[in-house]
């Protein structure tokens, strides 16, 4: 996955969006190495970087913490909208994880701080029929993932990286991090989490990218 967030508006047909649609059609970056040892740390087709590349469509919403909010809604017992103070009052977790972009770069040992998705789930209590989530960003970007992946061990709503608040280009003030999936699933500038009983495609999934995005299975593009 790529660390790319873009508006849902189909009229926003930028050069990069067109390129990524073409990559999906051509299967660019695919190696065919779908069977990996559990001890392998670098997924197939990936290369390591030491920096954190910024790859997006040039739209970096500026959201002050005073006006930021996160709405959790849908198939939950306790829908809620959190402001920044309420988010920071929740238990704060620290995780160390690797990240993997669909455009083939990976970065090891990222130190995150934020609110674990487990604590968000405890807050809203998903209904038994909830099976997926849709993430929506302040710029209109959307991406979907199974509830089981949203609730994975090291997934969190990150506010800090390497001991410092997230920067605007990396999704400040808060973004999701689901480290075991390609990074396009970890929406920047997060403002809404919808719990769903059925799956539906987000922005890049509508444009040829995989509905799940597992780096170790090289699920870069749709099987359709």
Domains identified in the chain, total number: 1
Q: Report how far residue 187's alpha carbon sits from residue 25's, in angstroms, rounded to the nearest whole number.
A: 23
8 A C-beta contact, residue 176 and residue 182: no
SS3 assignment, position 55: coil
Determine how β-strand 190-196 pairs with β-strand 69-74.
parallel
What token pair was written down for 67? Answer: 């006006």
* pLDDT for the residue numbered 54: 87
Residue 81 belongs to a domain: yes
Range of the domain at 130: 15-29+44-52+70-217
Residue 169 belongs to a domain: yes
pTM of the model: 0.84
Mean pLDDT along residues 77-86: 98
* pLDDT for the residue numbered 11: 43
> pLDDT tens digit string along 153-185?
999 999 999 999 999 999 999 999 999 999 999
Residue 61 phi, psi dihedral angles, 5° rounding: -55, 140
Compare 172 and 3 and report the one with higher pLDDT. 172
Contacts 24+ apart (CB under 8 A), 38-42: 40/216, 41/98, 41/108, 42/106
Q: Report, in this order, helix, strand and coil percent for the chain, each rounded to 5.
A: 20, 30, 50
Residue 63 belongs to a domain: no
Q: Report how far residue 26's alpha carbon sits from residue 19's, in angstroms, rounded to the nearest whole number.
A: 10
Q: What CATH number did the domain enclosing 140 receive?
A: 3.90.420.10
For 85-101, letters b (16+ CB in 10 Å) and e give eebeebeebebebbbbb
8 A C-beta contact, residue 173 and residue 53: no
> pLDDT tens digit string along 9-21?
444 566 555 555 5
Residue 93 belongs to a domain: yes
Of the candidates 116, 123, 114, 119, the one whose C-alpha atom is nearest the C-alpha of residue 79 is 123
Cβ atoms within 10 Å, residue 18: 11
Q: Report how far residue 141's alpha carbon sits from residue 107's, in angstroms, rounded to the nearest whole number.
A: 23
> pLDDT tens digit string along 33-72?
554 555 689 999 999 999 999 866 567 899 999 999 999 9
SS3 assignment, position 22: helix
* pLDDT for the residue numbered 222: 87
Instruction: Identify each DSSP E strand in 19-141 by its residue range.
Output: 47-48, 69-74, 80-83, 93-100, 105-116, 132-137
Residue 201 belongs to a domain: yes
Residue 195 belongs to a domain: yes
Q: Report how far residue 131's alpha carbon sits from residue 137's, in angstroms, rounded to the nearest whole number.
A: 20
Residue 172 belongs to a domain: yes
Residue 156 belongs to a domain: yes
């Amino acid at each position: 996955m790529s660390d790319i967030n873009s508006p849902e508006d189909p009229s926003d047909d930028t050069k990069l969006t067109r390129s990524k649609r073409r990559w999906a059609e051509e299967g660019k970056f695919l190696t065919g190495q779908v069977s990996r040892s559990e001890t392998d740390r670098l997924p197939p087709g990936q290369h390591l970087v030491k920096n954190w590349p910024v790859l997006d469509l040039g739209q970096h919403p500026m959201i002050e913490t005073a006006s930021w909010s996160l709405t959790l809604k849908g198939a939950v017992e306790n829908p809620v909208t959190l402001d920044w103070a309420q988010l920071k009052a929740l238990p704060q977790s620290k995780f160390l994880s690797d990240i993997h972009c669909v455009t083939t770069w990976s970065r090891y040992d990222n130190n995150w701080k934020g609110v674990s998705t487990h604590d968000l789930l405890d807050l809203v209590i998903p209904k038994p029929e909830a099976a997926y989530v849709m993430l929506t960003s302040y710029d209109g970007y959307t991406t979907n993932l199974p509830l089981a992946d949203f609730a994975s061990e090291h997934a969190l709503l990150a506010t800090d990286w390497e001991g410092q608040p997230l920067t605007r280009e990396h999704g400040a003030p808060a973004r999701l991090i689901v480290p075991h999936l390609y990074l396009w699933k970890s929406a920047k500038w997060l403002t809404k989490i919808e719990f769903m009983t059925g799956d539906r495609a987000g922005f890049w999934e509508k444009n040829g990218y995989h509905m799940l995005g597992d780096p170790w299975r090289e699920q870069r593009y749709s099987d359709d």
